[in-house]
Amino acid sequence: MAREEFPGWHGTTIIGVKKGGEVVIAGDGQVSLGQTVIKGSARKVRRLSPGGYDVVAGFAGSTADAFALLERLEAKLESTPGQLARASVELAKDWRTDKYLQKLEAMLIVTDGAEIFVITGAGDVLEPEHDVTAIGSGGNYALAAARGMMDSDRDAETVARDAMAIAADICVYTNGNLTVEKISK
C-alpha cells in the first residue's frame, strides 16, 4: 500500500515558554490516526540528562522518528557538554545530510533553561522571538495565545498551560492531557 493511501497520523501541540528565568515546555497527550484518537496520554515532552547536563525536549511528528532524533541529540550533547546551540546545529546538519535521517518526520523544541530552539529536518535551528515557540497541529493556536499572555503577570508555566488549553479547545488533534517540564538556568 502506498504511503499516500494511509489516513495519516496527526496531532500534537508542543509549546515552549521562556519567562522569569524559567523555561517551560508543555505538550498534549493525543495521538490520532485519521479521525480516530488512538491514545490520549502519550508523553511527548522529556527530560534528557546526558553527562549530568539537563535538557528538556518536546517533539511533534512520528514518535519513533522523534525518539531516533532524541537519541542523536543526547549523543551530540555528550560530545559537546553544556553547548545546546552547538549540539542542535550538529543534529540539524546530520538530519539534513544523512540519507536515513532525511526520512524522519518530526520537529523538536529543546531547552537547557537558558536557550530555547526549534530544530527541523530542513536543517533549521531557530531561536524564537518573543521567548515563545510552538510546533505541531495546534502550534499556531498555542503560539498566538501565549504571545498574547507574555506581558501579563502569569509565570512561564501558567502561560504554557493556558495557551495549551486554548489550543486544545480549537485543534481537534490536541487534547488537554498535558506533560509539563520546567527548567531554569
**12 annotated active-site:** yes
Q: How far apart are CA 66 and CA 72, in angstroms?
A: 10
Cα→Cα distances 75→69, 80, 182, 184, Å: 10, 9, 22, 22
Cell numbers representing residue 156 in the block: 512561564
Q: What is the CATH number of domain 3-176?
A: 3.60.20.10
pTM (2 d.p.): 0.91
Q: Are 17 and 162 in contact (CB under 8 A)?
A: no
Marked catalytic residue, from 12, 111, 133, 174: 12
Q: Where are the alpha helices (DSSP H) in 13-62?
A: none
Looking at the chain, the whole-number percentage of residues with pLDDT higher than 70 is 95
Average pLDDT over every residue of 123-129: 93
Three-state SS at 3: helix
pLDDT over threshold 60, residue 29: yes
**Residue 125 burial (CB count, 10 A):** 20
Residue 76's pLDDT band, with cuts at 50, 70 and 90, is: very high
Res. 111: pLDDT tops 70: yes
Let me know: does 19 contact 155? Beta carbons within 8 Å. yes
Closest-CA residue to 178 (of 132, 136, 117): 136
